[in-house]
Amino acid sequence: MPEADAAGTNLAEAVTKLVDLLHHKYPGIKIKPISNYEDEDFAFEIAIPKGLSIDQVEETCHMECINAEDEYDLYILPKVVYEK
């Protein structure tokens, strides 16, 4: 498999795993891809209901992104916001 295909497969697997984990941990959140800010491999926005602590969700997201970075050698950036 060419290196670019492997990187795309790893990214898809990492993002899918991360999104599934976050939906399981925080039912009712909405996740969508957003444009990268700088050099990250993927960026996404997590919109949470007002009843959730944004700090807690951000901490969880950052920890899981670090785990993905370690496992897949990818840099994923989460942006957590309250639903509008």
Q: HEC profile for 45-81?
A: EEEECCCCCHHHHHHHHHHHHHHHHHHHCCCEEEEEE
For residue 67, give the CATH number of its domain: 3.30.300
What's the pLDDT tens digit per position in 14-53? 999 999 999 999 999 999 999 999 999 999 999 999 999 9
Alpha-carbon distance 70 to 58, whole Å? 18
What's the pLDDT tens digit per position in 3-24? 556 667 899 999 999 999 999 9
- The pTM assigned to this predicted structure is 0.86
By residue range, what is the domain housing residue 63?
3-82
| Overall number of domains in the chain | 1
Alpha-carbon distance 44 to 31, whole Å? 7
